[in-house]
Structure 1
Amino acid sequence: MIDHVRPAQLSAWFASAPEGSQPLVLDVREPWELQTASVRADGFELLAIPMGELSGRLAELDPTRSVACLCHHGARSLRVAAFLEHHGFERLANISGGIDAWSHENDPTVPRY
């Protein structure tokens, strides 16, 4: 099942993760988007893999780990979360509203584009 989590709720979603595993924010945006606006890892690991490269880099991800997917507004990240669920990942979230909502809810220093 894919949870839909607003950026302001993400730390609470991570807190419910199994003991001893560091959660992951998987940023699936393109490199130019990362240069424009990025989040700072705070209590989670941050990994950027563009959506188009994910199938070839799937082995870099641990299916037992909590993974929250991030994109610009939430559409690409939802598709990636569904892809991961299809490949056996169990604890998944789509960050609803994407980095645009992140700027509003978590960190106004993150540029909007």
Structure 2
Amino acid sequence: MGNYPKSINASVLNDWFDSEREDPVLIDVREHSELEIACFSKEFLHVPVSKVTSEYVKEIFNGLKDREIVVTCHAGIRSYNFCQWCLDNNIVSEIWNLEEGIDGWSRYIDPSIPRY
């Protein structure tokens, strides 16, 4: 059986950020124009999916050893695909995908973030 991204919803991620547990590294794979519309209030790394290469991602993830990583996009599809790509290319052995992306975060956690 293959390795698949773990799913996390906005509520569980929010609880994680509020817990004593070390915050995950949040990676947003949306394009720059999307960040101008709606942006997380939490700290995140911007890794636009259109710029992804194996070397680029390995370089970023090298600095994140032993950190838990949660990936997001607009609705959770691009982030899931990015997570699966990272697993398939042995860049990580475990990675989380934020279900419903920033749209879900806006709906359930932070309604001040515009929906688009």
Farther-moved stretch of structure 1 (82-91 vs 2-11): 82-91
| TM-score, structure 2 normalization | 0.80
- Quote the RMSD (CA, aligned, Å): 2.1
| TM-score, structure 1 normalization | 0.82
Change (3 A) 1:76 1:111: same
Tell me the percent identity. Answer: 29
1:29 aligns to what? 30
Query: Across the two proteins, how many residue pairs are aligned to each other?
Result: 107
Taking the TM superposition and a 5 Å limit, the aligned residue runs for 1:66-77 are 66-77=68-79
Structure with higher Rg: it is 2
Q: Which runs of 5+ in 2 are unaligned?
A: none
Output the amino acid matched with 1:52.
S
2:32, 2:103 → 1: CA distance?
Answer: 16
1:60 aligns to what? 60
- 1:76-98: CA deviation from partner (whole Å, max 9, x where unpaired): 00001111112231231110001
2:6, 2:20 → 1: CA distance?
Answer: 12
- Partners of 1:64 and 1:90 within 8 A in 2: no
